[in-house]
Amino acid sequence: MVTVVFESPLGLVRVSGDEKGVAVISCTDSSVQEITPEIQSISPLVEPVQAAVQQLKDYFAGSRQTFDFPLNPSGTTFQQTVWQALLDVPFGTTQSYLALSRRIGDEKAIRAVAAANGRNPLWIVVPCHRIIGSDGSLTGYAGGLWRKQWLLEHEGAFAKSSQLSLF
């Protein structure tokens, strides 16, 4: 597994993967010095990781809305189903947890859908940040609600001047 760390407007981004695809993309408030011992390898870069880093940098620069590198996350069959459904939520839009539950075919699974959404290992690329409460509130985000708000504003899903509810 190859891991690369780079700076973004939201903190340090960590991208890990191998020849099969990217397994983890996460963000941290840690400094480079704090996480450097955790990095298993920074070279040579494998193609999926290299593509992910470049495409994420393009996303933060505002020149990319979709991603096309191979993904290889680990998760249960149910989690994989939820993460696959997240890929269908377009850039610049939001969807409620309830709507996502209905799309995967089980409205009553809303809590399980929310839990799978929260365990998404592929930050931004599998857009769990686009899932909000039925009332429009920005509920739950592993990276912090301020990051979720930033991402939605960056994508134009919410105007920067809007009065968003973070709870």
Evaluate if residue 40 carries a pLDDT over 50: no
Tell me what pLDDT residue 165 has.
Answer: 45
Catalytic residue (choose from 10, 22, 109, 128)? 128
Is 27 a residue of the active site?
A: no
**Which H, E and C letters describe 80-120, residue by residue?**
HHHHHHHCCCCCCCCEEHHHHHHHCCCHHHHHHHHHHHHCC
What digits encode the pLDDT tens for the residues 68-93? 999 999 999 999 999 999 999 999 99
Flag whether pLDDT at 162 surpasses 50: no
